[in-house]
A and B are shown apart, each in its own frame.
Chain A
Amino acid sequence: MKNQQNQPPSLIDVIGKSCPYPLIEMRRAILSANDGDFLIIKGDHEKSFSEIQMGAESMSCEIIEKTIDKNGVWIIKILVKK
């Protein structure tokens, strides 16, 4: 189902969670999301920063934005495409 209502992005907070949980939670969120939804994944597990992007692309999502601060906290915004 297409996101028609321009709803704000859902936040998936995986701060303090290590591999593989950030990936698992993002997968669950993408499966529940509609086409056109935005998701923001926020975490601090270093390896997961790259793996989240790899996984999102595999699930046909688009990486819209990614940032990482000096404390290692990263934020990835993705557009769900179904």
Chain B
Amino acid sequence: MKGYYFDNIAATKVDKEVIKAMLPYFDTYYAMPSSQFSHQPGIFITDKIEQARKNIAHFINADKDEIIFTSGETESNNLAIKGVARANKKRGNHIITVKNEHRSVLNSFKTLEKEGFDVTYLDVDGEGSVDLQQIKDSIRDNTILLSVALVDQVVGTIQPIAEIGKLIKEKQVIFHTNATYGLGYLPLDVKKMGVDLLTISGDKAHAPKGIGVLYKRKDININRIFDGNFNEFYIRPGIENVPGIIGFSKAVDLLKHNENTIEKINELRDILIDKLLTIGDSVLNGSRTKRVANNVNITFYKVEGESVMLHLDMNGISVTTGSACFSRSLEPDYVLSSMGFDHERIHGSIRYSLSKYNTKEEVEYVSEKTKKIIKRLREISPL
């Protein structure tokens, strides 16, 4: 059966050029980077890592010494939030984030809460947007950290990061953004965005799993969260994931000048949304206009999201649902809950996420198949 992969927010196909760039770093150039003081293969590897660091830094308008390689989104967020809050505790103990953030952000804040930090969890509106005035009002004299994602992973709402950056410029608040779900779709310029810390992850942008970056502005104090050796400016110990770093750098190369690709994905997204909304009793979740190019999230009422997802899968279509039965906690998706949605709207939600590899023919097939499945499910098991 042909596969129709529409779960690209979870993971993307690694680009062939990325694989090609990585391969020599498994069997030819495999020395440990820290061995640069011992032997020439170590020097070679260190030089390649530094080139990759420079390339990624340039991509987000940062300096190369501001790029810390990590294992991905979760580690970058943990390091940014815990590392910075703990290092700056003397200045204050109030920290702020948003209720619809990625689990790695929210759970880092919860850990800090247990350590004595005072946390404000900001609300979002029905489209998943934060309110600038609410951010402004929540900042106190003892606020040291604010974390707001550029794009959320469930409905793809784009937050006004640059505006927030301007809003808090005069305050002594360190600003972190998880830009993982905007990488490849939105311009990432840390200076224009006004952020001090930025997370990106390779697996969402056609690089392999297990490689991420934390951008940390030079003068921001941070504590390491792992103990070990002196790697990554003494901030992130452990042998560097050399093939991953090379692959991420190549993936970033492929994201440069990709306006046509984004336009194509935007177009596919809009076609898919329009076609799916012709199904009766359906509603788009998230914003129509402030929406990342690859996200489609729709609730089909009077059917169970998990049933729709399973039947799509049995037809070769990979998607995901916010329905409770598929979360380990058996609770409905917290991001959709934070938007004020009732149980029925969350329960029937399906997320389709696109990439450069999806085609118009696939979108046609997926929308037609969805229509048939919803129709039949409503006939055989009406809610």
Residues of A within 8 A of B (CB): 19-20, 23-24, 27, 47, 50-51, 54-55, 58-60
- Tell me if A55 and B311 are in contact (CB < 8 A): yes
Taking the complex as formed, is B307 at the interface, i.e. its CB lies under 8 A from any CB of chain A? yes
Write out, one digit per residue, whether chain B residues 366-383 have a CB within 8 A of any chain A CB (1) or not (0).
000000000011001100
B314 with A59: CB separation less than 8 A: yes
- Interface size of B as a range: 10 to 19
A51 with B314: in contact, given A19-B307, A20-B304, A20-B306 (CB under 8 Å)? no
- Per-residue contact bits, chain B 281-325, to A (CB 8 Å; 1 contact, 0 not): 000000000000000000000001011001101110000000001
* B349 CB → nearest A CB, Å: 15
Contact, CB under 8 Å: A27 / B310: yes
Taking a contact as CB atoms closer than 8 A, the residue among B1, B311, B325 that contacts A54 in the complex is B311
Please give 15 more A-B residue pairs, beta carbons under 8 A apart, in addition to A19-B381, A58-B315. Answer: A19-B307, A20-B306, A20-B307, A23-B310, A24-B310, A27-B313, A50-B381, A51-B311, A51-B377, A51-B381, A54-B376, A54-B380, A55-B310, A58-B311, A60-B1
Flag if B314 contacts A27 (CB, 8 Å): yes
CA distance in complex: A23, B311 (Å):
9
Tell me the complex Cα distance, A19–B170, Å. Answer: 54
Write out the residue numbers on chain A whose beta carbons fall within 8 Å of the beta carbon of B313. Answer: 27
Closest to A20 in B: B306
Bound complex: CA of A58 vs CA of B1, how far in Å?
10
Inter-chain CA distance A82–B128, complex, in Å, is 44
Which residues does chain A contribute within 8 Å of B304, judged by CB atoms? Answer: 19-20
Name B314's contact: one of A19, A47, A55 (CB within 8 Å): A55
Which residues from 70 to 92 on chain B have a C-beta closer than 8 Å to any C-beta of chain A? none
Taking CB atoms, residues of chain B closer than 8 Å to A58 are: 311, 314-315
Q: In whole angstroms, how far apart are the Cα atoms of A60 and B1 in the complex?
A: 10
Nearest B residue to A30 via CB reads B314
Give chain B nearest CB distance to A57 CB in angstroms: 9
Q: Which residue of the partner chain, among A23, A27, A59, contacts B307 with CB atoms under 8 Å?
A: A23
Q: Which residues does chain B contribute within 8 Å of A20, judged by CB atoms?
A: 304, 306-307, 310, 325
